[in-house]
């Protein structure tokens, strides 16, 4: 299993169509510029105390009091989604009726001198 990606910036922003979403990045200034260019409003991004996964970052935002209005809803909704994914754990794969056999090889004969 590969390591989860970590982020140093997290927060919320409202799209031009009015939907508020949780946002994650590693460069605060660049992310703000991108969101502004895309027409986003109510941009509220914070630098995290350390690099965090999305789940950890959402928990941190909740601890910091981002629980009101659309931003609070977006954080709570994404946190719920990430928590469900984390609880699933690893997927177990079982093969039914699969037979695998190693190809037969013969050892090369060696001469003794």
SS3 per residue for the chain? CCCCCCEEEEEEEECCCCCEEEEEECCHHHHHHHHHHCCCEEEEEEEEEEEECHHHHHHHHHHCCCCCHHHHHHHHHHHHHHHHHHHHCCCCCCCCCCCCCCCCCCCCCCCCC
Residues 66-90: tens digit of each pLDDT: 777 888 888 888 888 888 776 666 5
Q: Is residue 33 part of a domain?
A: yes
* Residue tagged 């460069």 (tokens): 27
φ/ψ of residue 92, rounded to 5: -100, 130
Q: Is residue 93 part of a domain?
A: no
Q: Residue 2 pLDDT more than 70?
A: no
As given in the structure block, the two tokens for residue 107 are 């050892």
Q: Is residue 55 part of a domain?
A: yes
Q: Is residue 22 part of a domain?
A: yes
Q: Is residue 41 part of a domain?
A: yes
Q: Is residue 19 part of a domain?
A: yes
Q: Is residue 1 part of a domain?
A: no
Give the global pTM: 0.69
Q: Is residue 40 part of a domain?
A: yes
Place 37 in a pLDDT band, splitting at 50, 70 and 90. very high
Which residue range(s) make up the domain with 78?
7-88
pLDDT of 28? 94
Q: Residue 44 pLDDT more than 70?
A: yes
Domain count of the fold of the chain:
1
Task: Compute how many other C-beta atoms are within 10 angstroms of the C-beta atom of residue 58.
Answer: 25
Pick the range with the lowest mean pLDDT from 1-10, 18-27, 82-91. Answer: 82-91
């Amino acid at each position: 299993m590969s390591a989860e990606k970590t982020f140093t910036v997290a927060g919320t922003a409202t799209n031009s169509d009015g939907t508020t979403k949780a946002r994650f990045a590693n460069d605060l200034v660049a992310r703000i510029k991108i969101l502004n260019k895309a027409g986003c409003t109510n941009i509220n991004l914070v630098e995290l105390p350390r690099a965090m996964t999305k789940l950890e970052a959402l928990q941190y935002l909740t601890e910091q009091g981002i629980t009101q209005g659309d931003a609070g809803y977006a954080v709570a909704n994404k946190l719920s989604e990430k928590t469900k994914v984390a609880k699933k754990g690893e997927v177990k794969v079982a093969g039914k009726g699969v037979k695998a056999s190693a190809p037969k090889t013969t050892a090369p004969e060696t001469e003794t001198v």
